[in-house]
Amino acid sequence: MSTIFDHMILLSNGVQMPQFGLGTYKMTDPEETLRAVEKAISLGYRAIDTASIYQNEREVGEAIRNSGVPREELFITSKVWNDEQGYDETLRAFERSLTALDMNYLDLYLTHWPVSASYVDTYRAIERLYDEKLIRATGVSNHHEHHLQELFAIANIRPMVNQVELHPLLTQQPLREFCHEHQIAVTSWSPLARGKLLQDPTLSAIASQHDKTVAQVIVRWHIQHDLIVIPKSVTIERIKENGEVSDFALSSSEMAMIDALNRDERTGTDPDTY
Ligand SMILES: NC(=O)c1ccc[n+]([C@@H]2O[C@H](COP(=O)([O-])OP(=O)(O)OC[C@H]3O[C@@H](n4cnc5c(N)ncnc54)[C@H](OP(=O)(O)O)[C@@H]3O)[C@@H](O)[C@H]2O)c1
C-alpha cells in the first residue's frame, strides 16, 4: 500500500519533492531533536525542514547520518535568516548551514523572510548556489505576490517553492492561485495552526466520521489541496499519527467545509509588517 511518504510534488525544474515532511521549528533541545528526527526517518519521513535560526542543523545532520538512510533518498531544506541576507552574506550563510549539517549539498534553500533591503540580492545568491549545483531547487518563504513579481523581474530561474503560513484559518487562496499559475509549489508552514484548531467542532465532527484525529484531517486537507505539508512534533506518537493519512480521503463537501473555516487569521507575522 502506498503511504504519504511516497507522495511527490514535481517542481518546475523536474525535481521531485516529498509532499510530506517534518518541521523542526522550536526543536531546540539537542537530544529531543535527535530522537524526533531519527524516529521520523525510521517511520518513513524523507523530508526535513530546518533553518539556521532554528539552531538545530547540527542535530538534524547527525540524526540523518545515524538513520543509515542514504543522503540522496532524503530531501533537506534550510533557510537563510534575516540578518544573514544580501548576496555575499547569503553565500556565507549557506556555507555555515552546510557545515552545521555536515553535507555537501542541500535539496532546497529558501530566503526565510523578504527583508526589504536585501531579499532580491539574497535570491540572486540562491540562484548562484543552484547554478553551482550546491542546491537542487531554489525557493523563498513568506513571499507575497508583490515580492515574487519583484523577483521575476530579475530572476534567471524563478523560485520553485514558496513556503508560507497556511492552514484552515488562513487558506491563502489568491497566493496559491498565483503560485500555481507560475509553477511555484507551495509549502504550508504551521499547517496545524500550532494546535489552535484541534478543538474545532467542524474538524472534530469530520475526524470522528473517519475515525481519525483532527490533526490527521488537517494534514489530509493540505495533501488533497496539493500543498507540501511539514507538521512539527517532538512527540513520537504524534510524529507517527501525522503520517498516517493515506487510508482515508476527505469528500469534496468536507474539503469545502474546511475551506470555509478561513478567517485570514495568522498565527505568525505578516511578511509586509515583519
Ligand atoms: N518559513 C517560516 O517562516 C516558518 C515559520 C514557522 C514554521 N515553519 C516550518 O513549518 C513547520 C511547522 O510549523 P510549526 O512548527 O510552526 O507548527 P505546526 O506544525 O502547525 O504545529 C506544531 C505544534 O503542534 C503540536 N502537534 C504536532 N502534531 C500534533 C498532533 N498530531 N496532535 C496534537 N498536537 C500536535 C506540536 O507539539 P509537540 O512538538 O510538543 O508534539 C507543536 O506544538 C516548522 O516546524 C518549521 O519547520 C516555517
Stated pTM of the model: 0.98
130 is catalytic: no
Alpha carbons 217 and 149: distance in angstroms, whole number: 34
**Which of the following is catalytic: 45, 54, 119, 123?**
54
CA distance 160 to 180: 11
Cell numbers 533553518 correspond to: 51
For each of the domains in the chain, give its residue range(s) and CATH number, in order of start. 4-273 (3.20.20.100)
Instruction: Name the residue at shortest CA distance from atom 34 of ligand 1.
Output: 195
Mean pLDDT computed over every residue of the chain: 97
How many helices and strands in the chain, by DSSP H and E? 10, 10
Q: What atom of ligand 1 comes closest to residue 233's alpha carbon?
A: 39
Overall average pLDDT of the 120-143 stretch: 98
Give the residues across from 76 on adjacent strands.
48
* Ligand 1 binding site (Cβ under 6 Å of any ligand atom): 23-25, 49, 112, 141-142, 163, 189-195, 198, 215, 230-235, 238, 241-242, 268
pLDDT of 233: 98
> Among 25, 53, 241, 242, which is best to mutate for testing ligand 1, by the most ligand atoms less than 8 A from CB?
25
Residue nearest to atom 16 of ligand 1 (CA): 190
Please give the sequence-ordered ranges of beta strands (E in DSSP) within 166-271, or none if there are none: 185-189, 228-229
pLDDT the model gives residue 2: 82
**Euclidean distance between CA atoms 210 and 250, whole angstroms:** 9
Span 191-203, pLDDT tens digits: 999 999 999 999 9
For a substitution probing ligand 1, which of 189, 212, 242 has the most ligand atoms within 8 Å of its CB?
189
Contacts 24+ apart (CB under 8 A), 243-246: 243/3, 243/4, 243/5, 243/20, 243/43, 243/44, 243/45, 244/4, 244/216, 245/4, 245/20, 245/212, 245/216, 245/219, 245/220, 246/1, 246/2, 246/3, 246/4
Write down the pLDDT at residue 87: 98
